Structure 1
Amino acid sequence: MITQITEGVKISVETLYQPEYSNPANDHYMFAYKINIENLTEYSVQLMRRRWFIFDSNGTHREVEGEGVVGLQPVIEPGSSHEYVSGCNLKTDMGSMKGSYAMKRLADQEEFEVSIPEFAMIAPYKMN
């Protein structure tokens, strides 16, 4: 698990290769990632937007951004967390992702950015 704290918000990431949704013969590799967002501050925060930088080991770079995560803009109370699972497809069996969340502190409507640490997506057979 990869973990990073920015502005009092802790991001933890786990990844899992999805062989049942992958088709290596057609250069399609699917990975799931589970993210836990924990609010270590004294204020309620809301996740407004996400921005991803995706690197595929064939040299391809993609950028993805949009509102919320998996259709939600969750409010995370102090001491609480929000967890979700999403996925990423690559054309190779190795790559990585990193990014950021645009968050809003509800007490004063102040917006701030939280880093999502870079995490690897590697098919298990590459680890041998």
Structure 2
Amino acid sequence: MVTAITDGVKVSVETIYQPEYSNPANEHFMFAYRVEISNLSDYAVQLMRRQWFIFDSNSSRREVEGEGVVGVQPIIEPGDTHVYVSGCNLKTDMGSMKGTYLMKRAVDDSEFDVDIPEFQLIAPYKLN
């Protein structure tokens, strides 16, 4: 698990290779990732947008941007954690992701970016 803290918001990510949804012969490798977003600050925050940078080991790069995460824009109270699971497909058995969340503080509606730490997407057989 990798972790980063930005302005009192802690983001931790762990990944799981999904062999049952992958098809290596057709260059399709599926990964799930579980994200925990913990509010360590004194004010409620709302996750407004996400921006991902996805890198494949064949040097391709994709950018994905949109509102919220998995269809919601969660409000995270001080001391609370929001957890979600999502997925990413690659054309190779190794890659990585990183990005940012655009957050809004409830106390004054100010917006700020929170770093999503870079994490590796690696099929387990590559580690042997």
TM range, normalised to the smaller chain?
over 0.9
- 1:106: which partner in 2? 106
The corresponding residue for 1:21 is: 21
Q: Residues of 2 paired with 1:95 and 1:42: CA distance?
A: 36
Rounded Cα–Cα distance in structure 2 between residues aligned with 1:32 and 1:47: 20
Residue aligned with 2:107, SS: coil
Cα RMSD for the two superposed structures: 0.2
Structure 2: runs of 5+ lacking an equivalent: none
Counterpart residue number, 1:52: 52
Q: Distance in 2 between matches of 1:78 and 1:106?
A: 11
The alpha-carbon deviation at position 103 of structure 1 amounts to 0.1
Q: Does the residue aligned with 2:125 lie in a helix, a strand or coil?
A: helix
SS of structure 2 residue aligned to 1:59: coil
Per the alignment, residue 94 of structure 1 pairs with 94
Deviation of 1:97 (Å): 0.1
Q: Report the equivalent of 1:67.
A: 67
Describe the superposition over 1:15-42 as per-residue Cα deviations: whole angstroms up to 9, x where unpaired.
0000000000000000000000000000
Provide the TM-score with structure 1 as the length reference: 1.00
Once the 2 structures are TM-superposed, how far is the Cα of residue 11 of structure 1 from its aligned partner?
Answer: 0.2
Q: Percent identity?
A: 73
Q: CA deviation at 1:54?
A: 0.3
Secondary structure of 1:73's aligned partner: coil
Distance 2:4 2:44 in 1: 19
